[in-house]
Amino acid sequence: MRAFTSISALDQHELDATEHLSDARRAAMSTMVRRAVPRRGTSPLRALAVFISLLLASGILLAVVAPSATIVIAATPTSLGPYEYDLRAGPNGGDINAQTNFDGQLTAKTTGSATGSRLDEERATGVEEFSNYTTNDIRIPTGTLVQTTEPSPIRFLTTEDKVLPRSAILPVPRVGTVLINIRAIDPGTKGNVAAGKINRAASTEYLVSNPAPTTGGRSDQIPVVTQADYDKAVAQSDDALRKAAEDRTNRWKAIAASGMTVYGVIAKRTGVLTPASDVVKELKKDDPPTFEITVTGTATAYTVTSDEPKKTAIQRLTQEVPSDMKLADNSAVVSEVIGASVREDGVHWRIRAEGKQVPKPKTSQMTAALAGRGYDAVAPLARDLGFELRSITPWPEWWPRLPVLDSRITIDVEALPSSAGSP
């Protein structure tokens, strides 16, 4: 087919604008180009067909885009635990942060008892009257024995040397007598004898009797503080020091910030202000058999947030949950197996924690799997993933299937009831 270099060439049936064609050649070439056919009006049937096609396309588009559905599911809980944890709140890598409270200026007094004693005794003394049975002078030497008449007699010895005058018959009867000081052989109150009781002598040449009671016999226990008493008091001072430390802890508690709990206390003795030389000695007879010492020491307590150890125990429990699960809200139950005990390195607990775990919802996978399917496919799929179907709300309500586009499907996870979350 011929090609023309311009529109004018085409109209003139010339191959080149500069080429002049003859009438015969132009007539021959004109038969080779078909002239444009005048346009006729659009057919009504064709217009109707186009309209119906557009209507069907719009319907299909609406069927794909317009429908939506909201699916409500609830996770099926399973038990988690129980687990037990040993937790420590304190310095140097404790599981729980704690503030250390320290007082190194404590003092406490404690009273000890004197268990030692010294026996302080005195022998009774008195006067014995000797009466001569003979007409001869009788020498009564020091240490002459006289005694009472009981089966277990109380014995006395004269403490001076005297001569017992003779007795006379003529011209006037007269009995020679002499008073001699005596002292009990045995010390103690036993030698305090009533008048007229000491009337037995070692000789038949004279009679004896005490005209007055003997007195002064005593046996007293003088309290003595021993080294053992001192050592025991020092050991017992730990109780007094702990009481002082507890009082200090109560003051710490009184000034603690809101939401903080003070645990105490560790009391430690650091010294004794009262030396043994001040108390290890004999006490006065009338003094109470006690003594007092003063000791020094320290008090240590720890301040922890009031939500501990429960908070840390729940964190530990959360770490036990598999990666495709999560700890159900408000399901954790924390209890103390061994309550708080304060040691030098902090506060210690033995804690038991348990709860409920639920699967994490995989909404994108679920919507992709459910797109375009019937409503009866939802419950089995949810059950396989660890959920229970609660409801399906389609829009419009009469729409027979789930939307074809997964983006038009909304999945809501219903909150777990608190009763279901309790172990």
pLDDT tens for 152-175 read 999 999 999 999 999 998 888 899
Tell me, yes or no, whether 202 and 137 share the same domain: yes
Per-residue pLDDT at 395: 85
Residue 174 lies in a domain: yes
Residue 319 lies in a domain: no
Per-residue pLDDT at 418: 47
Residue 29 lies in a domain: yes
Per-residue pLDDT at 167: 94
Q: What percent of the chain has pLDDT over 70?
A: 85
pLDDT digits over 21-78, tens only?
566 666 655 555 555 555 555 677 777 777 777 777 666 666 666 688 899 988 888 8
Tell me, yes or no, whether 110 and 240 share the same domain: yes
Residue 276 lies in a domain: yes
219 phi, psi to nearest 5 deg? -145, 100
Q: Burial of 151 by CB count in 10 Å (0-12 exposed, 13-18 middle, 19+ buried)?
A: exposed
Strand 99-113 vs strand 162-164: parallel, antiparallel, or unpaired? Answer: unpaired
Tell me, yes or no, whether 108 and 230 share the same domain: yes
Tell me, yes or no, whether 108 and 157 share the same domain: no
Q: Among 119-128, 224-233, 354-363, where is mean pLDDT lowest?
A: 354-363
Domain boundary among 276, 305, 334: 305
Tell me, yes or no, whether 209 and 267 share the same domain: no
Q: What percent of the chain has pLDDT over 90?
A: 57
Per-residue pLDDT at 118: 87
Tell me, yes or no, whether 25 and 72 share the same domain: no
Tell me, yes or no, whether 107 and 239 share the same domain: yes
Q: Among 64-68, 135-139, 348-352, 415-419, where is mean pLDDT lowest?
A: 415-419
Residue ranges making up the domain that contains 290: 99-114+225-305
Q: Burial of 154 by CB count in 10 Å (0-12 exposed, 13-18 middle, 19+ buried)?
A: buried
Residue 264 lies in a domain: yes
Per-residue pLDDT at 423: 44
Tell me, yes or no, whether 209 and 236 share the same domain: no
Is the pLDDT at 285 greater than 80? The verdict is no
Mean pLDDT of 215-234: 93
What are 281's two structure tokens? 């000695």
Residue 324 lies in a domain: no
Tell me, yes or no, whether 235 and 289 share the same domain: yes
Tell me, yes or no, whether 295 and 272 share the same domain: yes
| Residue 346 binned pLDDT confidence (cut-offs 50, 70, 90) | very high
| Residue 315 binned pLDDT confidence (cut-offs 50, 70, 90) | very high
Per-residue pLDDT at 420: 45
Tell me, yes or no, whether 240 and 212 share the same domain: no
CATH number at residue 277: 3.30.110
Residue 55 lies in a domain: no
Residue 346 lies in a domain: no
Distances (CA, A) of 384 to 377, 398, 407: 11, 27, 22
Tell me, yes or no, whether 152 and 3 share the same domain: no
Domain boundary among 222, 237, 257: 222
pTM of the model: 0.61
Domain count, the chain: 4
